[in-house]
Structure 1
Amino acid sequence: MKMKEITQIRLENARLLAKQAGGTTTFALKVDREPTQMSRVMGSNPTKNIGSKLARHIEACFGKQSGWLDYDHGIRDTSDSYDANTMPIAQPLRYYRYPVVSEAQAGWFAECVVPYPAGMEERQETTDYEAKGSAFWLEVTGDSMTAPLGMLPSVPEGTLVLVDTGINPAPGKLVVALLDESNETTFKKLILDGGQRYLKALNPAYPLIPINVNCSIIGVAVEAKTKL
């Protein structure tokens, strides 16, 4: 491939990364360069090319393999023109897929981390959130987490909540817990009152559940999505 072609491919790939990052300024900060320098390199009429040294540096900053900028990945900028100062809404650089599990399967995470082997999931949902531990989506059932009108947060029945098992379950977090006595899982808010930990429903019609050694916190809810 001719150097001229490589230079053009580098430019197109770098522009895509800049749009995903949120603009030239954000892109420049991420690669530790001045925005004006990046504008000269990637503007509508660039006055400088992306050399090999800068290309490798950009790849490293975005977690790409060495040489990624030099190849045509079949991804194209579909906008009519490139404006170095005006960008579309930033898009995630990467998506992650996590299984959707039932309340019964959620309890298994406390024992074996995953409810079934990878690739055998009945259903998966995507997100741009990178979990710190094993993660799963749990579909909320019942109205215990539906807060009174005007109160937030409120997690009504049918909502999918992403549960990350790698986050510390600090008081104030919404958590999925396994109650040892009933061997049932529940989705509640973890609170601390007078040195005693409780699981609290967002719906005030439900009582507090005091917990000590009779409960295992499986994970912390980090995201919610509702399909209409």
Structure 2
Amino acid sequence: MNKSKRKLTDSELQLAESLRRIWLAKKGELGLNQEKAGAAMGITQGAVGHYLNGRIALNTEAIIKFARLLNVEPSDIDPKQVVKLGRRASPGAPTTHTLQGVSDVPGNYIPIPQNRTTVPLISSVQAGGWAEVIDNFQPGDAEEWRETTAKVGPNAFALRIEGDSMTSPTGVSIPHGSIVIVDPDAEYTNGSIVVAKLVDVQEATIKKLVIDGPNKYLKPLNPSYAPIPINGDCRIVGVAKKVEIDL
């Protein structure tokens, strides 16, 4: 059963509105659009739009990135950021801002050098037909939107694992409830963890791809489950690039 998309709290929506007001006031002056903003901040154009329109909650790192981009203080977006950034002044020195992963240089806000992107969390049924719906996919079609540091292409998505077929007692394990980030544009090879769609099954499944000469199998990581022989009755939807677990 799909989870409903998490609604932002009133305070999160107020932050988004504060950011949106500053964006509208500054984007013309700075020659910005969402595509340029995403490239400058290391996130997708879609993620920029989701932050501005209150679909994704702003966190400290995102606020710092937008503040640098728009040439404002983080506190202009969120007054609480003055406290979160550890603002301090020393005798004879200008005010500096410190944060783990941020350089301690007056007036500069440099986020942790870690690219993030935002992908939709979809159902296994949606995943089965992903190639057909990518171009028409709307923000409300996803259970939620998730930030990830996985290196993926623009058509990536997230899938929640159901059941224990990919739970392994040793080595790599993808337990029930974990989130897998999938890239439809990545190339698969023998041993890749893939999302696959069998022609006679509505839902997509995630398994390890085994190529043994002319034979191909979808192999569960749980040894209690048998491999599934495949041939022309299977389409590889994408390759799993990262597993994320919510505690």
TM-score by length of 2: 0.56
Whole-Å separation in 1 of the counterparts to 2:98 and 2:154: 36
Q: 1:173 aligns with which of 178, 192, 202?
A: 192
Instruction: Answer whether contact 2:119 2:145 (CA < 8 A) is retained.
Output: yes
Q: 2:225 aligns with which of 202, 206, 225?
A: 206
Q: Equivalent residues in 2 for 1:61-76 (5 A)?
A: 64=40, 72-75=71-74
TM-score by length of 1: 0.60
Deviation of 1:159 after TM superposition, in Å, equals: 0.4
- Match in the other structure for 1:160: 179
Note if 1:197 corresponds to 2:216: yes
- Match in the other structure for 1:137: 158
Q: 2:134 aligns with which of 110, 113, 120?
A: 113
Q: Decide whether aligned partners of structure 1 residues 146 and 69 sit closer, same or farther in structure 2, where only a CA change above 3 A counts.
A: closer
- Match in the other structure for 2:125: 104
Whole-Å separation in 1 of the counterparts to 2:72 and 2:183: 32
Task: In structure 1, list runs of 5 or more residues that go unmatched.
Answer: 1-62, 85-89
Note if 1:220 corresponds to 2:239: yes
Identity %: 36
Which secondary structure does the structure 2 equivalent of 1:210 belong to? Answer: strand
Whole-Å separation in 2 of the counterparts to 1:216 and 1:198: 12
Q: Decide whether aligned partners of structure 1 residues 199 and 108 sit closer, same or farther in structure 2, where only a CA change above 3 A counts.
A: same
Instruction: Answer whether contact 1:173 1:190 (CA < 8 A) is retained.
Output: yes
Q: 1:78 aligns with which of 67, 79, 98?
A: 98
- Match in the other structure for 2:15: none
Whole-Å separation in 1 of the counterparts to 2:168 and 2:180: 16
Q: Report the RMSD for the aligned CA atoms in angstroms.
A: 3.0
Larger Rg: 1
Task: In structure 2, list runs of 5 or more residues that go unmatched.
Answer: 1-38, 42-66, 75-84, 86-96, 106-110
Deviation of 1:171 after TM superposition, in Å, equals: 1.3
